[in-house]
Amino acid sequence: MTVSELVGVWRLASFHDVDEDGNRKEGPLGPEPEGLLLYSAEGHVSVHMMRTGPSAPGGGSGARPPQNYMSYAGTWRLSGDQVVHTLTLAPEPGWIGTDQVRDLRLDGATLTLHGDSLVGPRQRRVLVWRRVSAQAPSK
């Protein structure tokens, strides 16, 4: 994997969790989330993802609010078969400065990232992204 292969804009194709037995489960943003992932050649990363259907139901008294939008930004670097995101902007102050390590696989225009959840109980997450073709903005 090279930096130039990762640089660009990626659209979220799927986002799901995998339990300890290897079973696929719906991810935190529902069955059909949308998102964009941007890797710059200068080493910046930005990711934004959202639920597309109805908002998630409330979690009850004292529970963490449901996730309808997830994002962060920072810098990125390759490390073997992994990409490391070092967070500089995040919705949770405790995430700032942390390294978020993602196992990665690139198959043509499809990028698959595997990582652990940032909130709640530790959960293995799988995000599949498709490269966005270069195209001039419409006027």
Give pLDDT tens digits for 20-53. 888 999 998 999 999 999 999 999 999 999 999 7
Give the mean pLDDT of the chain: 89
Distance CA 23, CA 19 (A): 5
Per-residue pLDDT of 101-117, as tens digits, reads: 999 999 999 999 999 88
Q: What is the mean pLDDT of residues 70-78?
A: 97
Residue 68 neighbours by CB under 8 Å, 6+ apart: 29, 50, 51, 55, 56
Q: What is the DSSP letter of 21?
A: T
- Looking at the predicted structure, is the pLDDT value of residue 56 above 80? no
Express each pLDDT in 79-137 by its tens digit: 999 999 999 999 999 999 999 999 999 999 999 999 988 776 778 999 999 999 866 55
> Band of the pLDDT at 57, cuts 50, 70, 90?
low
Q: Which pLDDT does position 50 carry in this prediction?
A: 95
